[in-house]
Structure 1
Amino acid sequence: MPALSTPLSQDSRCKRLKASSSREHDSVDALVMAARPFEDRERYARFLHVQHRFHGSLLSLYHDEQLNQRLPGLLQLSRFEAVETDLRDLGLALPPAPAQVSASPAQALGWLYCSEGSNLGAAFLFKQTQQLGLDGNQGARHLAPHPDGRALHWREFVAKLDGLALDAEQDAQVVAGAIAAFDSYRAHLRAVFAG
C-alpha cells in the first residue's frame, strides 16, 4: 500500500516551526547571554523575574481545556509554580501576576512550542546556576530537567504537536504564535535588565 503522506520527520510541523522561528530563537539566546544572568545572584534574580513574566503569562494556555484535550498532560508542564518557588528560595517577594497572553487556539500552540522548547535548551542554563550554589531543589527548580529527561519529554511534546490536524491557515497561525512568544520574551528581558 503506497504512503499517503510524507513522513513527519521530513516535513513535520515542528521542523517547519524551528526553521520559521530560528532567527527569533537565536536573538533570544544572544540577549540572554548578553544579560549575564548567572554572573551573580542579583542578576539571576532579575532572570527569575523575566521567567515569572513569561511563564506566568502562559498560565491560561496551560489551563485551557481545549488545549489540554489536544495536548494531553499539558496542564502538568507549566513551570510557573516552580519559578515562584525559586523566587521564594532566594528570599524574593513574588511579583504581581502577569497579564495573560491573548491568542487563538492555533497561535497558542506556537506559544507552547516556544515555552516547551525552552526547557530543552535550559540544560546549559541549569548548569550555570550551580555556580551560584543553586540546583533543582533550591533556586533553580524551573530549569531542572523533566523527570523523564529533557530529550524524551521534548520528543513526546513534538509528536503530539506534529500529530494535530491543522489546515494551512492554522499552521501559519502556529508560526505567528511562536514568533510572538519569542518577541514577548525579548521584551521581558529588555524591560527587566534595562534597570
Structure 2
Amino acid sequence: MIQVETSRAKRLKSASHGVHEGLDKAIMAAKPFSSRETYAVFLRIQQMFHRDIAALYAAPELAALFPDLSGRRRYEQVKADLADLGAAPADETPVPRFVAGASVDLPTALGWLYVAEGSNLGAAFLIKAAAALGLSAQFGARHLAASPEGRANHWRRFTAALDAPDLTDEEEARVLAGASAAFTRVRGLVDVGFRHGAADPA
C-alpha cells in the first residue's frame, strides 16, 4: 500500500493540537463576549498579535508564495474595531515579533501565518457571539468577518500555498516552531490581558 504523505497544514494541526486546544479553552474561560468591556480586552489581545505579524503581509519572500497575502492582513481591522467601541488600544511600545523591512525566515513565518489564518477560519462562531453584543462585520467585529469567497475557500487557498514549498527536515522543524511560538504568544497575551482586565497586554 502506498502511503500518502500528509499535507503540511495537517501536520501542523496535529502537532499543535494540544497548545491550540489549551488556548481555545483559556479564551472561552475568560468569556470575552460577556460584555463589550471584556470584548475590548480580547480586541487588544488581537491587536498585539496582529501587530506582531503585520510586517509579514508585505514581505516579498511571502508575497511570491501567497499572491493574495496583503489582503489577508487584519491588523487595521482590529484597530478599527477598537475605535468602533471607543476603546483604547493596547500600548504598542514593545517591538513587534516581525519588523517591517527586515529579512524574513520563510519557514518560521509560515508557522506564524498558519496560526493567524487558522484563527480566521475558526472565527465563524466568534462573530455570531459578537452579534449578541450588537457587533457585526461592519461595526466592532470587522476582523472576524469572512472573506467574500467564504471561509472554507479562503482557507483552502492559503493551505494550498502553504503546502507548496519543498522544505528540508530542518526547515519543517522551523515551521512547527513558528506555529508553536505564535500559539504561545497568543496564550501569553490572553493570560495577561484577562488577568488584568483592562490592562494593556504586551
TM-score between the two structures when normalised by the length of structure 1:
0.92
Establish whether residue 65 from structure 1 lines up as the match of residue 42 from structure 2.
no
Match in the other structure for 2:38: 43
- Counterpart Cα distance in 2 of 1:17 and 1:173: 11
Deviations 1:86-141 (A, max 9, x none): 00000123334353215632111000000000001001111000000000000000
1: CA distance, partners of 2:140 / 2:155: 23
CA contact (8 A) 1:13 1:161 kept: yes
> Partner letter of residue 194 of structure 1?
R
Check conservation: 1:82, 1:141, Cα contact below 8 A: yes
Question: Deviations 1:14-49 (Å, cap 9, x if unpaired)?
Answer: 111111101111011001101100000100010000
1:18 and 1:116 map into 2 onto residues whose CA distance is 12
Q: Does 1:17 align with 2:12?
A: yes
Instruction: Give every structure 1 segment of 4 or more consecutive aligned residues whose post-TM-superposition deviation is greater than 6 Å.
Output: none
Query: How many residues in Structure 1 have an aligned counterpart in Structure 2?
Result: 189
Q: Deviations over 1:26-83 (max 9, x none)?
A: 0110011011000001000100000001111101111211111122211110110100
Instruction: Name whichever of 47-56 and 97-106 sits farther off.
Output: 97-106
- Correspondence list, 1:73-88, <5 A: 73-88=68-83
- Report 1:1-195 matches (<5 A): 10-97=5-92, 99-102=95-98, 104-195=105-196
Aligned amino acid, residue 187 of structure 2:
R
Secondary structure of the structure 2 residue equivalent to 1:157? helix
TM-score normalised by the chain length of structure 2 = 0.89
Deviation at 1:169, TM superposition (A): 0.9
Between the aligned partners of 2:117 and 2:57, the Cα distance in structure 1 is 11
Deviation at 1:6, TM superposition (A): 6.3
User: 1:60–1:101: 8 Å Cα contact kept in structure 2?
Assistant: no
Q: Distance in 2 between matches of 1:99 and 1:12?
A: 33
Is the CA contact (8 Å cut-off) linking 1:37 and 1:43 kept in structure 2?
A: yes
Q: Which sits farther off after the overlay, 71-80 or 121-130?
A: 71-80
SS at match of 1:164: coil
Structure 1: distance between partners of 2:39 and 2:108: 30
Farther off after superposition, 76-85 or 59-68: 59-68
SS at match of 1:187: helix
Q: Percent identity?
A: 46
Whole-Å Cα distance in 2 between the matches of residues 85 and 6 of structure 1?
Answer: 47
